Homo-oligomer: A and B are copies of this chain.
């Protein structure tokens, strides 16, 4: 038995090298973390993705891959796309609310010029729109 192996090397039943790409981000005491990314992306793809980015951002990448893998396991149809769709709907609701309030305020503006409200909230929905598809309603 080889001790001190990371979760990836333990999963692959191999020796964990000192420069193991997985070791800092997938510790052996959290096997579920590696199991999730392994299930969705495969160990080889995770290794490749981590290799292709600078070492100082690998922890964030591993965390985001884990988050996306968990989302896909929880929702095998929509994954993170489903969360984004829900958030876009929340933003749409907020925008509608703000327009409604703005209209209400404008009614009383002439009598109370100091009740002037100008929203700074401007979400460019276009930047998050799904290419060629409207967002779904999960």
Interface set of A (CB-CB < 8 Å, partner B): 40-42, 44-45, 49, 52-53, 57, 60-61, 63-65, 67-68, 70-72, 76-84, 86-88, 90-91, 93-95, 97-98, 101, 104-105, 107-108, 111-112, 115, 117, 119-121, 123, 128, 130-131, 133, 136
Contact = CB atoms under 8 A, between A and B. Distances in A.
Q: Lowest 4 A-B CB distances belong to which pairs? A: A64-B81, A80-B80, A94-B94, A87-B87
B97 A77 contact: no
Contacts of A52: 76
The oligomer's copy count stands at 2
A128 B130 CA distance: 19
Contacts of A78: 60-61, 64
A128 B87 CA distance: 9
A60 to B, nearest CB: 5
A5 B93 CA distance: 44
A76 B61 contact: yes
Contact of A79 (B65, B83, B115): B65
A73 to B, nearest CB: 10
A37 B57 CA distance: 23
A52 B39 CA distance: 12
A19 B63 CA distance: 37
A53 B76 contact: yes
